[in-house]
Amino acid sequence: MRFKVPRELIPWNPTVNHEKCIGCKTCFEFCSHGVYSWDEEAGKPVVSNPTNCVVGCSGCRSQCPAEAISFPPLSVLRNYM
Ligand code: SF4
Ligand code: SF4
């Protein structure tokens, strides 16, 4: 997909609900784009590089056993195309 604005201006990245997250590390291990880092102390993922997230991808969400990962609706992307 091509967008008319720089990646930094496109609001597309995962959000983790830490109350739901069970700390299984699947999202951290699944994403090959370095979006997540791992907070050893909390035992939870951190979305430390949100703009590395591939616009339109939501692969990690479907891997999460706790349904703790969310994304904006795909329709928001129309504003940037
Ligand atoms: S949506 Fe895709 S690119 Fe973005 S964090 Fe999840 S697996 Fe990585
Ligand atoms: S996959 Fe879901 S439950 Fe597992 S660490 Fe990531 S957010 Fe938490």
Q: What is the pTM of this model?
A: 0.95
Phi, psi (degrees; rounded to nearest 5) at 57: -75, 140
> What is the Cα gyration radius of the chain?
13
Q: How far is the CA of 23 from the centre of ligand 2 (A)?
A: 5
Domain extent at residue 67: 7-80
Summarised one tens digit per residue, pLDDT across range 31-46 is 999 999 999 999 999 9
Which residues on adjacent β-strands are paired with residue 36? 47
> What CATH number does residue 51 fall under?
3.30.70.20
Summarised one tens digit per residue, pLDDT across range 65-75 is 999 999 999 99
Q: Residue whose CA is closest, atom 1 of ligand 2?
A: 64
Distance CA 25, CA 64 (A): 9
Which residues on adjacent β-strands are paired with residue 45? 38
Summarised one tens digit per residue, pLDDT across range 46-57 is 999 999 999 999
Q: For the chain, how many structural domains are there in total? A: 1
- Ligand 1 site, residue 21, Cβ cutoff 6 A: no
Q: What local confidence, expressed as pLDDT, does residue 81 receive?
A: 87
